[in-house]
Amino acid sequence: MRPTLPAAWDAALAGDPESAFGGVLICNAPVDKTTADAINEIFFEVLIAPSFEADALTALETKKNRILLRLKDSFTLPRKMYKMVLGGSLVQDMDEGNYSRWEEAGGRETTASEKEDLSFANMFANISNRIAIALVKDKQLIGKRMGQTSRVDALRMAIEKAKQFKADIKGAVLASDAFFPFSDSVQIAHTAGISAFIQPGGSVRDKDSIEYCRQHKLANGG
């Protein structure tokens, strides 16, 4: 989604430069010296990439207790997921996609750029812990929160996270890993400048958030 690896690194880091500290980094392109020097400015535990240019590898190896791994040309994910629960285990199929059907339910059609951002945001929300909110603009994650007991709390925290790192929220999109049973979340997001939403739906109160989107000409897909 970025023309060069250094540009991709800058965009990824801008999404949350605090949480990147001590993290695991994964690249889908060979790591060059410019990117290696930029990555070396923060502390990280693991870097995984298809390959490393010689001078990049030399730069990355200057610090101790760092794991550098080469990504295999091809690999397959398991078809089943297993989780231990009290008294037994839970087995479910691996989620292999983004969404199975796109349905316009808002006050206007989703634009092409909004749909790209919504698809990207939805992938993030899909792999996050329960009660996940992802804010995306121009194919860049600008705010996120998950694992809360309230979707409204997760949304407010995601918005504050975006503001903390000086992200421009106006025109951003929002993905939720579950339905909006009331209109409160879309109202809060709309007030912050968010213009399009994606959520799976399924609540008996879906109509509340959908009606708010229709009244205020907001896109609501998914």
For position 126, what pLDDT does the model report? 83
Mean pLDDT by 10 residues, the chain (222 residues): 90 87 91 95 93 95 90 79 89 75 90 94 85 93 90 94 93 89 91 93 82 94 73
Contact indicator for 14, 140 with CB cutoff of 8 Å: yes
Residue 61 tokens read as: 């190896």
Q: Rounded distance, CA 140 to CA 45, Å?
A: 23
Domain locations along the chain: 5-70, 112-221
For position 2, what pLDDT does the model report? 86
Nearest to 135 by CA among 149, 154, 113, 111: 154
For position 94, what pLDDT does the model report? 76
For position 131, what pLDDT does the model report? 87
For position 76, what pLDDT does the model report? 75
Q: Rounded distance, CA 103 to CA 198, Å?
A: 10
Helix runs in 79-183, H state only: 112-127, 151-164
Q: Rounded distance, CA 109 to CA 196, Å?
A: 10
For position 113, what pLDDT does the model report? 94
For position 65, what pLDDT does the model report? 83
| Domain 5-70, architecture per CATH | 3-Layer(aba) Sandwich (3.40)
The domain made up of 112-221 has a fold known as Cytidine Deaminase; domain 2 (3.40.140)
The structure tokens 């709309």 sit at 190
For position 97, what pLDDT does the model report? 63
Domains 5-70 and 112-221 share a fold: yes
For position 222, what pLDDT does the model report? 66
**Type of residue numbered 91:** V
Neighbour order of strands in the sheet with 173-176: 140-145, 133-137, 173-176, 196-198, 219-221
Q: Rounded distance, CA 36 to CA 207, Å?
A: 49
Cut 0.95: pTM above it:
no
